[in-house]
Structure 1
């Protein structure tokens, strides 16, 4: 019984000291600060005919996730490098916002929409895996969605996951353990 009274008294005294402190706090302290924007620089100078598609894919992610900013850059500032080749689109990921992307012409030749491919591959660079659910409203559904799908808007669950990924610093993966999304659209 004595312990319960002591515990109750301790809580009451603690609250007594807390209430004046809360009352004295400025009104702005009650409003949480906006999350910092995490900037990721990409270099699409090697993407050849897909350069505009990469910019469109980046713009789609920027619109969907306010805590990231994908910005074009060149040289050493870029942590995401984008190239064009004749294979299937694929991404080699080294950590959040650190990747090498290949915009493969094979998927375009099969009829897939280049800006959607770019947005999908950038999704891998932002830490998302493939989700072969066949739905056009999911960017990460890749080539399981029909070729008629031209949406570049990330699904709200994809955008939320990228926002969570951006909030945690993911260390670069060792080259031996790099993630390869070679089937990415399986892209």
Structure 2
């Protein structure tokens, strides 16, 4: 496509003026594709604030997602008993259930960030290492680290950089957090 003569003259004049002022025009680099993961805390009860904190953590540790309360890609619920878990329909879509009783034993922010990690594509890693978010409850009740390890965040970035929405099958992630001990039970 040819630029009209006047437009070419103005573009040349602007470039010459910028050069004489020492301004260097740089080519714009292509923007990263950022996927919005819209979450909803209307059913999260006492865990809504933890969901907001967990979303902020994921936003800070990743480059290719933006989590915000803008819809229902990710629903947050809570229950009394039965364990905390996540159900992922596809990358960035599903729901999280936080067990009120487990959140009395384990860090509720760690649980929330961990379960959202499943929705973002991460699997459990039961190695007991508190530095790894996806080690879940295997790190013990004293572990309160709610932050993904750089390798976990890099994996999420990688999947969202190359993701085609809905391209994967649904998965249920359960047993991330040991069930609350019953009275008299031995471990």
Pairwise TM-score range, normalised by the shorter structure: 0.7 to 0.9
**Counterpart of 2:96?**
101
SS at match of 2:125: coil
Q: Which residue of 1 aligns with 2:173?
A: 181
Quote the offset at 1:125 in angstroms: 0.5
Q: Does 1:45 align with 2:42?
A: yes
Give TM-score scaled by structure 2 length. Answer: 0.76
* 1:136 match: 130
CA offset digits 1:113-161 (Å, max 9, x no partner): 1011000011000000001111111110001012111111110000000
Q: What aligned pairs does 1:25-174 form with structure 2 within 5 A after superposition?
A: 28-29=26-27, 32-73=29-70, 77-86=71-80, 87-109=82-104, 111-172=105-166
State how far apart, in whole Å, the 1-side matches of 2:167 and 2:30 are. 31
Q: Is this contact kept in 2: 1:134–1:144, CA < 8 A?
A: yes
Distance in 2 of aligned mates of 1:121 and 1:179 = 12
Shift of 1:183: 1.4
Counterpart-to-counterpart distance in 2, 1:172 and 1:180: 15
Q: Deviations over 1:88-110 (max 9, x none)?
A: 0101101110011101123223x
Q: Distance in 2 between matches of 1:27 and 1:164?
A: 31
| Displacement over 6 Å in runs of 4+ | none
The whole-number CA distance in structure 2 between the counterparts of 1:32 and 1:146 is 45
Q: Give the superposition deviation at 1:34.
A: 3.6
Q: Secondary structure at the match of 1:130?
A: coil
Relative to the length of structure 1, the TM-score reads: 0.76
Aligned residue pairs total 155
2:129 is paired with a residue of what secondary structure?
A: coil
Q: List alignment gaps of at least 5 residues for structure 2.
A: 1-23, 180-187
Uncovered stretches (5+) of structure 1, i.e. residues with no partner: 1-25
Alpha carbons of structure 1 residues 186 and 180: separation in structure 2 relative to 1, 3 Å: farther
Q: Secondary structure at the match of 2:111?
A: helix
User: Post-superposition shift, 1:171?
Assistant: 3.7
> Structure 1 residues 156, 97: CA separation in 2 closer, same or farther (over 3 Å shift)?
same
